[in-house]
A and B are shown apart, each in its own frame.
Chain A
Amino acid sequence: MTVKAPILDVRAVIGGYRPGLPILHGISIDVANGEVVTIIGPNGAGKSTLIKAIAGFVAVTAGEVMLADAAITNRPAHELIEQGVAFVPQRENVFTSLTVQENLRIGGYVVKGELDRRIEQAYAMFPILAERRHDKATVLSGGERQMLAIARALLPRPRVLMLDEPTAGLAPRIADEVLDRVRALAADGVAVLMVEQNAKAALARSDRGYVLAEGRNRAAGAAADLLNDPGLGEAFLGGRRPSP
C-alpha cells in the first residue's frame, strides 16, 4: 500500500473479544516511518478493536501483525512497548491518582538509565506539563490529559505510536492543537496510527487513511483523496465539525 517499506504491517487480521465472535474480519493496514495514518469509519466498524488487537488487548485468531520483520501477533501488551509500539487508549489514558511527574515515570518504566533526562525533554516538548508536574492528573483539563498521555507514550521513544480517538471530548481548538502535535511527531520519524471519529480534521493532518465498516476494509488511499471522495459521503466523513 505504502511506497516506503511499512514499519507496522497488519495482514488479514481476524479477531474479537470472545472466541467465535470475531469483530475484525480480515483487516489489513500498514504504516511507514514518519507517516500519519488515520482509520475512520462508522460506529461499530471495528476501528478501536483493531488498534487494541495490535496493542495486545484483543485476541487475534487469524492473520498477522508484523513490526518491521518481526511478528508481534498476540504478544502480551506489556511486551510491545519494548518492541517499540506505544498505545494511548481513548479512555483512562492517564493515571489520575498519580502526579504528572509520576505518570511520566510510569511511561518510562521500560527506559533504562536516562529516564530523568527524557522526562525533562518531554517537559520541553509540552511546557504546560512542566508547569503542572506536581499536580495530580485528575485536575488536568481534557487537552492537558491528552498531552500527558501522548508525552507518556513517547518516553520509551517508540517506533510506532497508536492513538485511539485522541480528540474525543476535546473543544475544537484543543483538538486541532492535539492533532497538530501528532503531525509534528511524524516529522520526527515516528509512525503514527490513529483512530478518529473527527475524520475530516484528522485526515487533514494525515498522509493516508483507511475506511473500515463492519470489521472490513472499505476504502484506502491518500488522505487528501479520501477527503475529496464524494463516494465516501457523510456516513464516513461526517465528523463532528467542519473541515478546518
Chain B
Amino acid sequence: MILQHLADGILTGAIVSLGAIGLSLTMRILKFANFSHAELLTFGAYAAMVFLAFTKAMDGVLGGSLGPFSFGLSLVVATVLAGGLTALAALAIDRLVFARLRHRAGHMTLVFASFGVALLLRNLILIGFGPDPYYYSRELQMAIRLPFDVLVLPDQIFVLALTIVLVIALHLFLTRTRAGIAMRGVAESPSLASACGIDVDAVIRWTWILGGVGAAVAGVLYGLTVQLRPELGFSLLLPLFAAVILGGTGSMYGAVIGGLIVGLAENLSVMVIPASYKPAIPFLLILLILYIKPQGLFGEAK
C-alpha cells in the first residue's frame, strides 16, 4: 500500500516539478512571485486540446495511439504547438503588463498585477470553454503491474520519463550553453550581465518562452493524467509555490526536489489523514520550511 502511494507521489511530484521549474526560473530572473504562472498551465492544456481537434483529423498520417499510451502523435504535435502558443501568450502578457511595471514599480505591484492576470486568464478560459471537464482521450488504459503489486498507468510512466528528460535537457542548457550561462548571469546581476555584453531584455524574453513552454507541457501532462478544468492551474498554484519555496527560489534542482517532496507528501498523507485534507499539505510544507530553513533546501542564505 505504501509503495503504491510512493509511486503515485512520485508521478504527481513529476508534474509539480515541471511546473515549478518554470515558476522558479521566472521568479529568479524577473524577481517577483508570478501568480499567473499556474494559469499558463491551464492555458497550455486547453490550447493543446484545441490543436488536438485539428491534429486528430490527421491521425491517418500521424497514426493512432502510441503503444500502450492513451494518446498518439497527434497529442505530441498538439503539445508542441500549444507550447509555442503559450510562450507567445507569456511574451504578450509581459509586453502588455509586466514590462510596463518592471522599471517603475515595486515588486509587490508586479505580484498584484500577476493576480490580476491570473484571474483574467482563468475566467477567459471559463468563458470560452465552460466549467465542464474535458479529456484528451477517453480510451481505457490497462495498468501495468510493477514489482510489489504497484499499479501504474502507461501514461504516468510517460509523464515521469518526459519530466526526467526535460530536467536533464534544461540542466545541460543552463550549464553548458552560452545562452544558459547568460541566463544564470542575468538572474544574479542584470547590470553586470549587461556589462558583459548580454542583452538583458532578450534573456527576459527567453525566460518567458522557456517558462511558457514548461507550463504548457506540465499542463498537458496534468490534463493527461487527470482532466481539463478551468481550475487546473489554480489547483496546482499552492503545490507549485510550495515546491519552489521548499527547494529554494531560483534553484532549478530545488524546484525538482521540492516538487517531488510535495507530490510524495500529498499522496502519503492520505494514509494518516482524510483525503479531503490533502490540499492543506503544501501549506504545512511551506510553513515547515520557512520555520526551519527559510531560504529553502537549495537556496543560498542572504
Same complex: yes
Residues of A within 8 A of B (CB): 55-57, 76-82, 86-89, 92-98, 102, 105-107, 109-110, 138, 152-153, 156
The yes or no answer to B178 lying at the interface (CB within 8 A) is yes
The stretch from B56-64, B95-103, B188-196 touching chain A is B188-196
Residues of chain B contacted by A107 (CB below 8 angstroms): 196
B125-139 CB mask vs A (1 if < 8 Å, else 0) is 000000000000000
Contact A92 B181 (CB under 8 A): no
Identify 9 new A-B residue pairs, CB closer than 8 A, beyond the known A81-B196, A92-B189, A102-B181: A76-B194, A76-B199, A78-B199, A92-B192, A97-B188, A98-B181, A98-B188, A153-B195, A156-B197
The one of A56, A82, A95, A102 that contacts B192, using a Cβ cutoff of 8 Å: A95
Contact A89 B184 (CB under 8 A): no
Shortest CB distance B243–A (Å): 20
Shortest CB distance B181–A (Å): 6
Q: How far is the CA of A211 from the CA of B189 in the complex (A)?
A: 31
Q: How far is the CA of A10 from the CA of B43 in the complex (A)?
A: 52
Q: Nearest residue in B to A162 (C-beta to C-beta)?
A: B195
Contact A81 B197 (CB under 8 A): yes
Residues of chain A contacted by B185 (CB below 8 angstroms): 95, 98, 106
Q: How far is the CA of A226 from the CA of B169 in the complex (A)?
A: 58
| A and B contact pairs by CB, cutoff 8 A, 22 listed | A76-B194, A77-B191, A77-B194, A77-B195, A78-B193, A78-B197, A81-B195, A82-B197, A89-B191, A89-B195, A94-B192, A96-B188, A97-B187, A97-B188, A98-B184, A98-B185, A105-B181, A106-B181, A106-B185, A109-B182, A138-B300, A156-B197
B265-302 CB mask vs A (1 if < 8 Å, else 0) is 00000000000000000000000000000000000100
B193, B194, B195, most chain A CB atoms within 10 A: B195
The yes or no answer to B200 lying at the interface (CB within 8 A) is yes
Top 4 A-B pairs, shortest CB-CB distance: A77-B194, A81-B197, A110-B197, A78-B194
Contact B197 A109 (CB under 8 A): yes
Q: How far is the CA of A110 from the CA of B197 in the complex (A)?
A: 6
Shortest CB distance B112–A (Å): 26
Interface residues on B, range: 10 to 19
Residues of chain A contacted by B198 (CB below 8 angstroms): 78, 106, 109
Residues of chain B contacted by A76 (CB below 8 angstroms): 194, 199
Residues of chain A contacted by B200 (CB below 8 angstroms): 78
The one of B178, B187, B195, B300 that contacts A55, using a Cβ cutoff of 8 Å: B195
Residues of chain A contacted by B193 (CB below 8 angstroms): 78, 106
Count CB-based A-B contacts (< 8 Å): 70
Residues A57 and B196 in contact in the complex (CB < 8 Å), given A106-B182, A109-B178, A109-B182: no
Q: How far is the CA of A94 from the CA of B196 in the complex (A)?
A: 11
Q: How far is the CA of A88 from the CA of B195 in the complex (A)?
A: 8
A81, A97, A106, A107, most chain B CB atoms within 10 A: A106
Q: How far is the CA of A46 from the CA of B209 in the complex (A)?
A: 40
Shortest CB distance A212–B (Å): 22
Q: Nearest residue in A to B178 (C-beta to C-beta)?
A: A109
Residues of chain A contacted by B199 (CB below 8 angstroms): 76, 78
Q: How far is the CA of A94 from the CA of B188 in the complex (A)?
A: 10
Contact A109 B189 (CB under 8 A): no
B184, B189, B193, most chain A CB atoms within 10 A: B189
Residues A95 and B184 in contact in the complex (CB < 8 Å), given A57-B191, A77-B191, A89-B191: yes
Shortest CB distance B98–A (Å): 20
Q: Nearest residue in B to A52 (C-beta to C-beta)?
A: B191
Shortest CB distance A159–B (Å): 14
Residues of chain B contacted by A105 (CB below 8 angstroms): 178, 181
Contact A95 B189 (CB under 8 A): yes
B92-113 CB mask vs A (1 if < 8 Å, else 0) is 0000000000000000000000
Residues of chain B contacted by A79 (CB below 8 angstroms): 197
Q: How far is the CA of A173 from the CA of B80 in the complex (A)?
A: 58
Residues of chain A contacted by B194 (CB below 8 angstroms): 56-57, 76-78
The one of A56, A96, A106, A138 that contacts B196, using a Cβ cutoff of 8 Å: A106
B178, B188, B197, most chain A CB atoms within 10 A: B197
Q: How far is the CA of A56 from the CA of B182 in the complex (A)?
A: 19
Residues of chain A contacted by B192 (CB below 8 angstroms): 89, 92-95
Q: How far is the CA of A181 from the CA of B187 in the complex (A)?
A: 30
Residues of chain B contacted by A55 (CB below 8 angstroms): 195
Q: How far is the CA of A190 from the CA of B277 in the complex (A)?
A: 67
Residues of chain B contacted by A96 (CB below 8 angstroms): 188
